[in-house]
């Protein structure tokens, strides 16, 4: 695993529109984005190129939280999303760039996520573990096909 960088790959049995919506809908993001044991509050989100967002994760056990925000750099609906992250805490300096790519495959979509510029204070394997948990929650959100009632 590279220092300051994680790369993740998943295949989900969901249409690209549904997966992409999970990255743009604030209620969906608050549900699946934080790793297990954390809650998330999306304080603001302007889902447009150049738009900004702010959110915070809170440790459910301790109540400690960390907030961060960033800017949407590239948005290609149902195909690609790139955004920045910057923590408010000065102990986590720098800017993270996250790239999400979706590609249709026979069973749904292939999802590729790369996160670069992770602060030195965050071990890459810890970040990778958190993403694995978040992607498990994403899978549980987007794969069920629930008909309208």
- Ordered structural domains, the chain, with CATH: 5-37+75-142 (3.30.530.20)
Give residue-wise pLDDT tens across range 113-140. Answer: 999 999 998 999 999 999 999 999 999 9
**Tokens 């948005």 correspond to what residue?**
75
Q: What are phi and psi of 29, to 5 degrees?
A: -60, -40
Share of the chain above pLDDT 90, in %: 91
pLDDT category, 104, cuts 50, 70, 90? Answer: very high
Cα gap 61→41, rounded to integer Å = 16
DSSP one-letter string for the chain: --TTEEEEEEEESS-HHHHHHHHH-HHHHHHHSSPTTEEEEEEEE--STT-EEEEEEEETTT--EEEEEEEEEEEETTTEEEEEEEESSTTS-S-EEEEEEEEEETTEEEEEEEEE---TTS-HHHHHHHHHHHHHHHHHHHS------
pLDDT of residue 148: 80
pLDDT of residue 147: 84
Q: Say how many Å lie between the first and final Cα of the chain, rounded.
A: 46
Beta bridge partners, 81, equal 75, 100
pLDDT of residue 91: 87
pLDDT of residue 3: 83
Give residue-wise pLDDT tens across range 32-61. Answer: 999 999 999 999 999 999 999 999 999 999
For the question of whether the overall pTM of this predicted structure is more than 0.85, the answer is: yes
């Amino acid at each position: 695993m590279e220092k300051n960088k994680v790369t993740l790959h998943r295949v989900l049995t969901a249409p690209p529109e549904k997966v992409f919506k999970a990255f743009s809908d604030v209620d969906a993001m608050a549900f699946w984005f934080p790793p297990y044991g954390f809650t998330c509050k999306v304080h603001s989100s302007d889902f447009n190129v150049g738009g900004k967002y702010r959110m915070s994760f809170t440790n459910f056990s301790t109540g400690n939280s960390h907030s961060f925000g960033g800017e949407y750099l590239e948005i290609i609906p149902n195909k690609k999303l790139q955004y920045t992250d910057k923590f408010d805490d000065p102990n986590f300096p720098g800017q993270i760039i996250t790239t999400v790519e979706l590609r249709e495959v026979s069973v749904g979509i292939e999802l590729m996520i790369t996160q670069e510029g992770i602060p030195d204070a965050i071990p890459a394997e810890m970040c990778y573990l958190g993403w694995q948990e978040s992607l498990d929650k994403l899978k549980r959100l987007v794969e069920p096909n629930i008909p309208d009632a």
